[in-house]
């Protein structure tokens, strides 16, 4: 009986074969007489290709969901305790799964085109999609051709990948649990961000296919309308995908921002800019019959840049320069081959058709909208070039070394500064050019005097931006210019918007989008440029001589239950918290007692949290044992709020991930994350042993805390044994919080066992060391250590909401435009 | 023709500026010896050093000193020329650090000690030996 994995492998090979057949038959549609039968055969091949690919995706899911750890992919990416929605995202954690995800979207797009009525265009488009599918399927093929490995199959068995002595003893050994999903990816954004991003990648195929088909079919007019529509769609979807990624970074990673200029981020930023440029160029070509060649070059290169970014992130070439590229699967040669294949096809078609492509010799006037639109397109190209060039330095080194040379160039060491300093000028130019282009494009003919068109927006801009610059104050020249350019863009695009609403009762979607972009730029300017540290250490104390200076200067140490000023806030650290399963609130970690080996907890005292009652000795499940939250209470005047930054540890590695919590305000975010806390695995030095004799219900002092022995419950474990257990419940009051300690005293065959209880927060270990039954007294011993503490960093991110709001406006405008473009049937 | 000629000149001009600044601001991959020379010549620019963690004859990683607070750590790194150096990193140990087959540190010497601002890791590809925790 063949295994599920060999079926999966077989399905992938079949889908590869049918992708080839589909490409060939759709290619022959155009050049043969009996084109309809080739078209039918092509459709059948593509359907079979889709069927087999979908079947292999379903099988891979079955392997992940069924915890089939004999398969390497399941062992590597999931574990038994992983919740179902993270099992979904485990699918695309690896390279193979993410290729499958990309192909999944391509299939849907292909099916859409083959289900439409026959036309030469549709046949040609599915041909290009099939060719791309051939290239992508080959990446997961997992076939050895002589000595050459083609693709990496997700259905490979663990024992074929990993050398471990256990397999020579027992070849059928299956690990009990997988190594689990990277804690950073255990986040709901990681469930939806990759599919959106890959959908964006997939949609880019459509403009590319139209451009290729137009050149093949030597029809240079009809491709413009659908390409414009689909370019816009890819801009929207890829844009949303990118922003989801930045929001994830802001919320989960602790570098304090949403954009890091990491090569992996640059590799999607650049194709996105190119898509925007192509979209604008197609508008020019479609409306004004200009720049046909440029439209072809941009539409083709946008997709090629997507392939190039795939090569960058997956070939391992960035290994020395990126924090989060995929692990190298040894596919670099294959990826390079695919990249060159599509570059060569595009170049061949462009060169052979170059003379055919229509061109107008008419020169645009400097005061026309087209001219400024064109300058905007050039700016976008330069903007991309400035990012892709340094990102490609590792590729440059590899090429030099290929020819026997030596190059030790590395990407800029301070990449944030390097990129931001250049991009800010391009962004300012874009804001200005887009405003001029919009105003001239729509309003020039209706007004005789061009200057008067700009006078109002310009006047408002100058007043408003000087006010902001003066009051805030903004001192950096590049920031002043970006701010002024963005405000100008808002008001000049606003003037177009008002003009249309008044005259024609229409909403100018382009103006809405450009206003959105300008609002976004303002948000980026303030939140990045004026992000400030709130948690400056004003105490004059050095937290620890071993700490880097930056931690001693910019972070605050907070002891549990002690107020301390952090910036303008009065902050009280209330201790470590856990989240319970199926329950939204947080619970004090000291109220929970771990039952060893069961991954469950016992509640130590009666509690009522958010209306739900818990009884002493109830058993509860903790949502994720590896995550600890820190409850921080912030107070400023009447404003009171609580933040829960968290830490996640990974039992399989030394990984510690601190994630921030953010307090959103309309004008600014307070971004708080923990830098460090007492190592849970570190051995504690207990000191100051002291003991006290108390009866039940008497108040006494444990160290400095008012305490009371509430009760002592006794039980005999079983009747025949002589084991006797006494468990005390001691209530400890500390600065407004109630704690409970439950030390136990065990007698077993005349041997005495003492089980102490530790209250981490207070740094107290309590035990019962003696019971004097005749007097009803209990001897309580306590030892102390340092109280619980955290070191936090708090940052203010002014106007960060402008960025998210601006992005929503931008996307809304784009969606309006998308809706307006009527597809012509070709 | 005037407009497009002017535009082309400006465009090519900016392209050249971008190329020059990119290669001008590019950092370099060097060995610890070269990094020390740069430092003693008063050059404080950040450089990249590629190397591996120091391992003893039994392939155990040696020379890692974690601070008690987990906030920073230092480790011994052997560069591509085989020179061993202590590297200090002012942040917690990055995930998979101990599993890395190659590391790149970005930083510079300061007070005769190599301070890394950033660490990049290359983790083993999935077709090399790995150990299963049982």
Per-residue model confidence as pLDDT tens digits over A134-170: 999 999 998 888 778 888 899 988 888 777 777 777 7
Q: Cα separations (Å) of A467 from A345, A668, A800, A817?
A: 55, 20, 20, 34
Which of A18-32, A173-187, A294-308, A614-628 has the highest mean predicted lDDT (pLDDT)?
A294-308
Evaluate whether residue B30 is within a structural domain: yes
Q: Among A53-57, A250-254, A331-335, where is mean pLDDT lowest? A: A250-254
Cβ–Cβ gap A676/B29 under 8 Å: no
Residue B116 has pLDDT above 70, yes or no: yes
Query: Would residue A540 be called left, alpha or beta, if left means φ above 0 and alpha means ψ between -120 and 50 degrees?
Result: left
Cross-strand bridge partners of residue A580: A622
Average pLDDT of B12-37? Answer: 88
The pLDDT confidence band at residue B128, using thresholds 50, 70 and 90, is very low
List chain A residues with CB under 8 Å of B99.
653
A273 has a pLDDT exceeding 60: yes
> pLDDT band at A344, cuts 50/70/90?
very high
Q: Is the pLDDT of residue B129 over 60?
A: no
Nearest CA in chain A to B8: A378
Most confident listed range (A71-80, A201-210, A550-559, A604-613): A201-210
Q: Looking at the domain assignment, is residue B78 inside a domain?
A: yes
Out of A174-188, A208-222, A606-620, give the one with best mean pLDDT.
A208-222
Q: Which domain holds residue B87?
A: 24-122
Nearest CA to B116 out of B79, B85, B82, B90 is that of B90
The beta-strand segments (E) located in A85-206 are 143-145, 148-150
* Mean pLDDT confidence for A672-698: 83
Q: Could you tell me if residue B48 is inside a domain?
A: yes
Cβ under 8 Å to A: B residues 62-81 = 67-72
Contact check, Cβ <8 Å, B48/A410: yes
CA distance A597 to A591: 19
> Which chain A residues are Cβ-neighbours of B98 within 8 angstroms?
653-654
Distance between alpha carbon A550 and the CA centroid of its chain, in Å? 27
Give B102's pLDDT tier (boundaries 50, 70, 90).
confident
Q: Is the pLDDT of residue A819 over 90?
A: yes
Handedness of CA A273, A274, A275, A279 (dihedral sign): positive
In this predicted structure, what is the pLDDT of residue A600?
Answer: 83
Give the pLDDT of residue B134: 39
Give how far A299 is from chain B: nearest CA, Å: 20
Distance CA(A687)–CA(B80), nearest Å, equals 48
Residues of chain A with C-beta less than 8 angstroms from the C-beta of B67 = 544, 546-547
Is B32 part of any domain? yes
Q: Provide the 8-state DSSP code for A525.
A: H
User: How much is the pLDDT for B133?
Assistant: 41
Mean pLDDT (whole number) for A432-454: 82
Mean pLDDT of A319-326: 54
Residue B100 has pLDDT above 80, yes or no: no
Closest residue in B to A321 (Cα–Cα)? B120
pLDDT of residue A656: 77
Lowest mean pLDDT among A72-76, A253-257, A424-428, A773-777: A253-257
- Decide if B35 is inside a domain: yes
> B31 lies in a domain?
yes
Q: Is the pLDDT of residue B68 over 50?
A: yes
**Residues A64 and A37: beta-carbon distance below 8 Å:** no
- ipTM of the prediction greater than 0.85, yes or no: no
pLDDT reading at A174 higher than 70: yes
pLDDT at A447: 59
Tell me the shortest Cα–Cα distance from A606 to chain B, in angstroms.
Answer: 35
What average pLDDT does range A473-487 have in this prediction?
A: 94
Q: What is the mean pLDDT of residues B57-67?
A: 78
Q: Is B122 on the interface with A (CB under 8 A)?
A: yes
- Identify the pLDDT of residue A503: 84
pLDDT band at A612 (very low <50, low <70, confident <90, very high): confident
B90: domain CATH number is 2.40.50.140
Q: Is the pLDDT of residue A325 over 60?
A: no
Asked if A177 and A78 count as a contact pair (C-beta separation under 8 A), the reply is no
List chain A residues with CB under 8 Å of B122: 316, 319-320, 328
* Chain A environment of B102 (Cβ under 8 Å): 319-320
Cα–Cα distance, A560 to A787 (Å, whole number) = 7
Cα dihedral A438/A441/A445/A449 (nearest 10): 50
CA distance B93 to A424: 33
Residue A409: per-residue pLDDT: 85
Stretch B63-80: mean pLDDT: 78
State the pLDDT at residue A429. 96
**pLDDT for residue A774:** 84
Q: Does residue B101 belong to the interface with chain A, where contact is any CB pair within 8 Å?
A: no
Q: Is residue B34 in a domain?
A: yes
Q: How confident is the model at residue A591 (pLDDT cuts 50, 70, 90)?
A: confident
Structure confidence at residue A328 as a pLDDT band (50, 70, 90): low
Q: What percent of chain B has pLDDT over 70?
A: 84
pLDDT confidence band for B106 (50 / 70 / 90) = confident
* Number of folded domains that form chain B: 1
pLDDT confidence of A327, banded at 50, 70, 90? low
pLDDT average, residue stretch A437-450:
78
Q: Does A546 contact B68 at a Cβ distance shorter than 8 Å?
A: yes
pLDDT at A319 > cutoff 70: no
Beta-carbon separation of A182 and B95 below 8 A: yes
A355's CB contacts (< 8 A; 6+ apart) are none
Residues of A in contact with B5 (CB under 8 A): none
Residue in A626, A625, A652, A599 with CA at minimum distance from that of residue A76: A652
- Give Dmax (Cα) for chain A: 111
Partners of residue B50 in chain A, C-beta under 8 Å: 320
pLDDT > 70? residue A732: yes
Q: Is B103 on the interface with A (CB under 8 A)?
A: no
pLDDT tops 70 at residue A324: no
List the single residue in A162, A378, A413 with the smallest CB-CB distance to B132: A162
Does the pLDDT value for residue A10 go beyond 80? yes
Looking at the partner chain, which of B11, B104, B126 has a beta carbon nearest the beta carbon of A378? B11
Q: Which range has the top average pLDDT, A214-223, A616-625, A675-684, B31-40?
A: A214-223
**Is residue B93 in a domain?**
yes
Would the pLDDT of A443 be above 90?
no
């Amino acid at each position: 009986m063949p295994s599920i994995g060999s079926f999966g492998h077989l399905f992938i090979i079949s889908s590869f074969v049918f992708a080839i057949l589909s490409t060939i038959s759709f290619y022959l549609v155009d050049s043969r007489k009996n084109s309809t039968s080739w078209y039918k055969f092509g459709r059948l091949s593509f359907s079979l290709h889709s069927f087999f690919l979908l079947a292999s995706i379903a099988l891979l899911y079955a392997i992940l969901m069924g915890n089939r750890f004999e398969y390497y992919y399941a062992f590597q990416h999931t574990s038994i305790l992983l919740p179902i929605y993270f099992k979904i995202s485990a699918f695309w954690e690896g390279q193979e799964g993410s290729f499958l995800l990309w192909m999944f979207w391509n299939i849907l797009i292909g099916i859409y085109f083959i289900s439409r009525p026959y036309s030469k265009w549709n046949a040609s488009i599915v041909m290009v999609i099939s060719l791309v599918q051939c290239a992508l399927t080959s990446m997961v093929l997992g076939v050895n051709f002589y000595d050459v490995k083609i693709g990496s199959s997700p259905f490979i068995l663990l024992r074929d990948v990993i050398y471990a002595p256990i397999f020579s003893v027992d070849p059928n050994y299956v690990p009990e649990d997988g190594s689990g999903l990277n804690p950073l990816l255990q986040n709901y954004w990681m469930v939806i961000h990759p599919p959106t991003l890959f959908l964006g990648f997939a949609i880019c195929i459509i403009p590319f296919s139209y451009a290729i088909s137009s050149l093949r079919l030597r029809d240079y007019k009809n491709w413009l309308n659908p390409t414009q529509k689909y370019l816009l769609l890819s801009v929207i979807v890829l844009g949303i995908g990118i922003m989801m990624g930045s929001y994830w970074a802001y919320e989960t990673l602790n570098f304090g921002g949403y954009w890091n200029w990491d090569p992996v981020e640059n590799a999607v930023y650049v194709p996105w800019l190119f898509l925007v440029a192509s979209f604008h160029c197609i508008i020019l070509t479609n409306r004004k019959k200009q720049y046909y060649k440029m439209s072809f070059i941009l539409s083709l290169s946008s997709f090629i840049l997507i392939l190039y970014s795939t090569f960058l992130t997956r070939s391992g070439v960035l290994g020395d320069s990126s924090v989060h590229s995929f692990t190298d699967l040894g596919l670099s040669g294959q990826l390079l081959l695919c990249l060159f294949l599509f570059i060569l096809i595009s170049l061949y078609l462009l060169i052979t058709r170059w003379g055919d492509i229509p061109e107008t010799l008419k020169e645009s006037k400097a005061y026309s909208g087209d001219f400024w639109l064109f300058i905007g397109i050039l700016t976008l190209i330069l903007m991309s070039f400035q990012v892709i060039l340094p990102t490609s330095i590792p590729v440059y080194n590899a090429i030099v070394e290929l020819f026997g040379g030596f190059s030790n160039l590395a990407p800029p060491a301070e990449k944030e500064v390097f990129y931001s300093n250049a991009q800010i000028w391009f962004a300012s130019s874009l804001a200005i050019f887009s405003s001029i282009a919009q105003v001239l494009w729509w309003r020039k003919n209706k007004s005789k005097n061009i200057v008067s068109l700009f006078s109002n927006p310009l006047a408002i801009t100058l007043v408003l931006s000087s006010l902001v610059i003066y009051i805030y104050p903004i001192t950096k020249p590049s920031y002043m210019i970006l701010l002024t350019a963005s405000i100008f863009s808002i008001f000049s695009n606003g003037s177009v918007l008002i003009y249309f609403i008044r005259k024609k009762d229409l909403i100018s979607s382009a103006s809405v989008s450009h206003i959105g972009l300008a609002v976004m730029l303002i948000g980026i300017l303030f939140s990045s440029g004026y992000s400030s540290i709130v948690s400056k250490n004003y105490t004059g104390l050095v937290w620890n001589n071993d700490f880097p200076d930056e931690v001693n200067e910019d972070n605050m140490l907070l002891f549990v239950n002690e107020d301390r000023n952090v910036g303008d806030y009065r902050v009280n650290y209330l201790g470590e918290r856990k989240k319970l399963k199926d329950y939204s609130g947080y619970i004090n970690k000291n109220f929970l007692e771990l039952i060893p080996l069961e991954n469950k907890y016992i509640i130590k005292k009666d509690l009522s949290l958010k209306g739900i009652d818990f009884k002493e000795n109830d058993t509860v499940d903790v949502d994720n044992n590896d995550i600890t939250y820190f409850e921080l209470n912030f107070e400023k005047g009447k404003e009171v709020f609580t933040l829960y930054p968290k830490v996640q540890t990974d039992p399989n590695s030394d990984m510690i991930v601190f994630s921030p919590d953010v307090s959103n305000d309309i004008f600014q975010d307070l971004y708080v994350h923990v830098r460090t806390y007492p190592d849970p695995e570190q051995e504690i030095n207990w000191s100051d042993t002291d003991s006290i004799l108390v009866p039940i219900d008497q108040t006494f002092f444990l160290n400095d805390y008012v305490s009371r022995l509430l009760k002592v419950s006794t039980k005999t474990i079983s009747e025949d044994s002589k084991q006797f257990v006494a468990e005390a419940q001691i209530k400890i009051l500390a600065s407004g919080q109630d704690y409970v300690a439950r030390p136990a005293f065990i007698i077993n065959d005349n041997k005495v066992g003492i089980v102490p209880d530790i209250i981490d927060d207070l740094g107290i270990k309590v035990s019962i060391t003696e019971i004097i039954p005749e007097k009803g007294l209990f001897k309580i011993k306590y030892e102390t250590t340092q109280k619980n503490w955290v070191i936090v960093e708090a940052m203010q991110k002014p106007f960060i909401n402008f960025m998210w709001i601006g992005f929503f406006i931008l996307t809304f405008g784009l969606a309006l435009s998308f809706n307006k473009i009527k597809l012509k049937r070709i | 023709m005037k407009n497009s000629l002017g535009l082309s000149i400006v465009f090519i001009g900016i392209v050249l500026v971008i190329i020059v600044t990119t290669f001008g601001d590019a950092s370099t991959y060097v060995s610890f010896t070269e990094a020390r020379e740069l430092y003693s010549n008063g050059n404080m620019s950040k450089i990249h050093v590629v190397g591996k963690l120091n391992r003893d004859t039994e392939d155990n990683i040696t020379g890692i000193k974690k601070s008690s607070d987990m906030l920073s750590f230092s480790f011994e790194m052997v560069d591509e020329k085989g020179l061993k150096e202590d590297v200090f990193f002012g942040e917690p140990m990055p995930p998979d650090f101990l599993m890395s087959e190659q590391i790149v540190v970005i930083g510079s010497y300061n007070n005769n000690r190599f301070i890394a601002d950033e660490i990049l890791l290359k983790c083993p590809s999935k077709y090399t030996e790995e150990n299963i925790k049982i």
